Structure 1
């Protein structure tokens, strides 16, 4: 977990520098100088293809309500890749702010927030879980606790490049609920970065349903398509 500690220290350093040099920032997407205390310029923000609707995914006779900030393109795709593969936590901060706005505008209610977990091997390799980071940012803002109630117990192929049925087959049996938590009759918000077929997040939701969860909502940074 050494990498995770280092990356979090870098994040804290960036926050401190932002406070000191708040009028000398550059857009996190295009590099243009901005002076409004934000990390993304208005020009880039205008190109975001926001999703202004929720959608349902049904699996095993269970329906899951899903929301995404935008389609997986442009600035949001840029921000996700920066957070996921480059450890840019400022990109995560921008994503979380859009998620918070969506939660408020859609009046999403929940008792707990959780997230799509990684295997121990993948977590050790990357040093952090971007979905856990986003969850904690949301928790601070909307004052809803994050619970680490899911474990990924099986290494899987990267879902990128797989077809719809292959994705479901690849992820099957990958997640296990931690019984130290009581989620019976609780509404839970699952956080992920990108949703395509929904195989990953919905598999997490189905595992939570086995242990009595009531309504489960899925929130992602972006929505993609197979």
Structure 2
């Protein structure tokens, strides 16, 4: 009889908790409960270092403006690693939300969206392009078309471990445009996960400009240093 009462009480408590926390969700980083329609708890959100300043990438007489939502540290670093290497698409949703907020706060104006491409080998290994994933969430929220414009034409070394000069040389002549009509005379928002030296963003943006884009603005989830 005693065991039956205990089981009943446990069941009752479970039912009560389900009602009380029916709108609660777990933080994807620390598993803490959050009631709002969010994926991060207040503690984890507070540790994100927001980036409020744009970066000017200048090379070959061309200047490209790059916006980043946060610095590549703490929670943002963990989210990018999870999206890029662990198939954690919830982490991608959080990153995209920060990027959408940046668009709104910085009043970034653009016509269409594209993204930094990956090689076939990278897609085959990972199964997806994390920059494309972010771009599609942003495009859906901002009601803007997302186009696959760029193609990576050669396999390059991993940028990790390379100095600034090596990074620029590594990526030179690595991208080409495969479609032109969608960007002709338009302001293009180029999406990537992280900007470090700006070499990837610059060479992609340069190719877009050479193939008809009026202007190219870059938006990344994070800004990093070598």
Question: More deviation in 179-188 or 82-91?
Answer: 179-188
User: For residues 108 and 125 of structure 1, do their structure 2 counterparts lie closer, same or farther at Cα, with a shift above 3 Å needed?
Assistant: same
Whole-angstrom CA distance in 2 between matches of 1:79 and 1:182? 31
Residue of structure 2 in register with 1:91 after alignment = 91
Residue of structure 2 in register with 1:158 after alignment = 158
Whole-angstrom CA distance in 2 between matches of 1:76 and 1:84? 12
CA shift at 1:24, angstroms?
4.2
Residue of structure 1 in register with 2:59 after alignment = 59
Structure 1 residue runs without a partner (length 5+): 1-20
CA RMSD of aligned residues (A): 1.3
CA shift at 1:193, angstroms?
0.4
Question: More deviation in 176-185 or 101-110?
Answer: 176-185
TM-score, normalization: structure 2?
0.88
Q: Does 1:191 align with 2:165?
A: no
Whole-angstrom CA distance in 2 between matches of 1:180 and 1:212? 7
Q: Is the Cα–Cα contact under 8 Å of residues 186 and 214 in structure 2 kept in the other structure?
A: yes
What's the CA shift string for 1:137-175, capped at 9, x where partnerless? 001111110010100110011101110000011111111
Whole-angstrom CA distance in 2 between matches of 1:126 and 1:178? 23
Residue of structure 2 in register with 1:168 after alignment = 168
User: For residues 39 and 179 of structure 1, do their structure 2 counterparts lie closer, same or farther at Cα, with a shift above 3 Å needed?
Assistant: closer
Residue of structure 2 in register with 1:119 after alignment = 119
Whole-angstrom CA distance in 1 between matches of 2:101 and 2:182? 28
What's the CA shift string for 1:162-216, capped at 9, x where partnerless? 1000001111111110145342221000000000000111110011111121111
Whole-angstrom CA distance in 2 between matches of 1:77 and 1:107? 25
Whole-angstrom CA distance in 1 between matches of 2:52 and 2:149? 30
What's the CA shift string for 1:94-150, capped at 9, x where partnerless? 111111111011111111100000111111111000100000000111111001010
Residue of structure 2 in register with 1:38 after alignment = 38
User: For residues 198 and 22 of structure 1, do their structure 2 counterparts lie closer, same or farther at Cα, with a shift above 3 Å needed?
Assistant: farther
Q: Name the SS of the counterpart of 1:83 in structure 2.
A: helix
Q: Does 1:73 align with 2:58?
A: no
Whole-angstrom CA distance in 2 between matches of 1:49 and 1:22? 31
